[in-house]
């Protein structure tokens, strides 16, 4: 399942793409049918679950990933309840509607996860995928109720594109209405730091992009916490125009998708049972 050799696109989407033709470089997929696209999204969703495990995001049954069905946009695929990230297979994924009814699949779903993700997808029909997990560094930084500072190039991926949400802070979202503030926050952001809760990321491109940017956001939270621990000095913030430039070129959806191809190549090679 490794990325096949392709020619570089005629028009580059980023500075990372080769200008020379004929070199091996990841190319965004083109599908011959909706069934092919569905299979692709499901495989990438299962792979994203395995990648979350590899990054230490497991926390009991906490956490949930979703991707919209390409044929039925009012339905989305999600990971099965109480199955470890490390054991999720494509065949285990569950298709669910906005009301929480399982349309296809044998497993139950995480109802609290459904509340947030259903609201995100229903309120933002252009969002393809979303991710949430109970991570150590993301949860710790969320307790501060502060946005990331533009103090590293990596943090600039989220410059002007993430928000801190205090609504329902620390409360388990068991009522459908509790997902709405999160959904509204995603109208103009790709990432949310939910105060006293953790991180949520959404993508209008792919589950690949959502997964990568969630990993990147948790990575940035870890760096921010480390910098906060140094009391003698404060990190220097990047000039807003440079931070904005980095956001445009390093934090866009194509770059998120491109980063994930590295993770997908490794996990699909080492854990091919995820495609079962």
Each residue's pLDDT tens digit, 102-146: 999 999 998 877 888 889 999 999 999 999 999 999 999 999 999
What percent of the chain is modeled with pLDDT above 70? 92
Least confident of 4-13, 122-131, 252-261: 4-13
Each residue's pLDDT tens digit, 11-24: 678 888 898 989 99
pLDDT band with cut points at 50, 70 and 90 for residue 168: low
Q: For residue 111, what pLDDT is reported?
A: 82
Please give the average per-residue pLDDT across 176-192, as a whole number.
84
pLDDT at 174 exceeding the cut of 70? no
Q: For residue 171, what pLDDT is reported?
A: 58
What is the 3 state secondary structure string of the chain?
CCCCCCCCCCCCCCCCCCCCCCCCCCCCCCCCCHHHHHHHHHHHHHHHHHHHHHCCCCECECCEEEEECCCCCCEEEECCCCCCHHHCCHHHCEEEECCCCEEECCCCCCHHHHHHHHHHHHHCCCCCEEEEECCHHHHHHHCCCCCCCCCCCCHHHHCCCEEEECCCCCCCCCCHHHHHHHHHHCCCCCEEEECCCEEEEEECCCHHHHHHHHHHHHHHHHHHHHHHCCCCCCCCCCCHHHHHHHHHHHCCHHHHHHHHHHHHHHHHHHCHHHHC
Q: Could you tell me which residue, 14 or 41, shows the higher pLDDT?
A: 41
Q: For residue 8, what pLDDT is reported?
A: 39
pLDDT band with cut points at 50, 70 and 90 for residue 32: very high
pTM of the model: 0.92
Least confident of 14-28, 42-56, 91-105, 127-141: 14-28
């Amino acid at each position: 399942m490794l990325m096949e050799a392709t020619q570089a696109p005629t028009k580059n989407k980023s500075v990372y793409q080769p200008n020379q033709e004929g070199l091996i470089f990841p190319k965004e997929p083109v599908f011959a049918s909706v069934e092919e696209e569905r299979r692709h999204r499901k495989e990438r969703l299962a792979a994203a679950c395995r990648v979350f495990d590899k990054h230490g995001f497991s926390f009991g049954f906490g956490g949930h990933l979703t991707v919209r069905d390409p044929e039925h946009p009012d339905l989305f695929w999600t990971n099965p309840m109480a199955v470890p990230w490390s054991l999720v297979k494509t065949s285990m994924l569950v298709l669910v509607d906005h009301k929480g009814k399982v349309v296809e699949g044998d497993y139950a779903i995480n109802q609290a996860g459904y509340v947030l993700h259903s609201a995100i997808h229903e309120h933002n029909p252009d969002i393809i995928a979303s991710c949430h997990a109970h991570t150590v560094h993301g949860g710790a930084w969320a307790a501060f109720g502060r946005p990331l500072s533009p103090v590293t190039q990596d943090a600039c991926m989220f410059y002007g594109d993430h928000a801190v949400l205090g609504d329902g802070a620390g409360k388990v979202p068991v009522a459908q209405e509790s997902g709405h503030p999160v959904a509204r926050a995603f109208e103009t952001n790709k990432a949310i730091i939910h105060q006293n809760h953790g991180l949520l990321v959404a993508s209008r491109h792919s589950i690949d992009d959502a997964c990568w940017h969630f990993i990147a956001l948790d990575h940035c939270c870890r760096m921010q916490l480390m910098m906060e621990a140094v009391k003698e000095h404060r990190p220097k913030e990047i000039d807003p125009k440079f931070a904005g430039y980095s956001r445009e070129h390093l934090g866009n959806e194509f770059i998120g998708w491109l980063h994930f191809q590295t993770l997908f190549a490794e996990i699909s090679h080492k854990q091919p049972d995820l495609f079962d």
